Amino acid sequence: MKIASWNVNSLNVRLPHLEQWLRDAQPDVVGIQETKLEDAKFPDAALAGLGYRSVFAGQKSYNGVALLARDRAIDAVQVGIPGFEDEQRRVIAATVDGVRIVNLYVVNGQDVGSDKYAYKLRWLDAVRDWLAEELRAHPRLVVLGDFNIAPDERDVHDPLIWNDGHILTSTAERTALRQLLDLGLHDAFRLHHDAAGIFSWWDYRQAAFRRDMGLRIDLTLVSDALRAQAVAADIDREPRTWERPSDHAPAWVRLDG
């Protein structure tokens, strides 16, 4: 099973890209973030034409998440973090072929010390508590999405800029991510790649993609029960080269068995 994550940064704009990538990459399950669509406008019929079932939770102009599964049932759907009141559509979870998949669009946080930064940390605390319960109920768990956190210095183009005082790389954010991993989750990419300088997001400004000034903030995490089955993981840069691309590239993990 090939499971992928992609922040499409507006599904209305990027639907042709998603359709092309689904045909080319043939993922079995995809978590999408930043659909920026109300549910009534989600293109489930178009995706069904490519063989993908869809479940989704969206809102107008902002946020929005979805899960797609090719020729597989999507069961036990959960929208939002249980017990955490939040109008923003950032979380959707479901079970596909016995694997529990949690798709997260983590809060950006705006600036270190801001109200939105404090909200991000509270949000991550709620996610950690919920995932601890999910792991007990579903040992075969994959958590994926746009985490808006670069795990360590290997995941940024310039550690002097992306430091403790910067959003996405502050100590508190990285600690919150580490606390998720400490539940018994593993960064699938790092199970197969030690190298620095492999990124999943590049700003639209300053010719960042051409200059490879990026961050790795799109992650696929696998539970202890799936670690040995995570036989490959990578980032597909190709869609970032297309005309009018998302600023993110898909990240994926392949489970064997």
Among residues 146, 155, 218, 247, which one is catalytic?
146
Picking from 18, 53, 59, 54, the residue whose alpha carbon sits closest to that of residue 40 is 59
Which one-letter DSSP state was computed for residue 248? B
Is there a catalytic annotation at residue 146?
Answer: yes
Residue for token pair 């929208």 = 79
Among residues 28, 52, 105, 155, which one is catalytic?
105
Q: Please tell me the distance from the alpha carbon of residue 192 to that of residue 119, in angstroms, as a whole number.
A: 33
Is there a catalytic annotation at residue 105?
Answer: yes
Q: Quickly list DSSP for 147-183.
A: -S---SGGGBS-TTTSSTTSTTT-HHHHHHHHHHHTT
Q: Please tell me the distance from the alpha carbon of residue 110 to that of residue 88, in angstroms, as a whole number.
A: 16
- Active-site positions read 105, 146
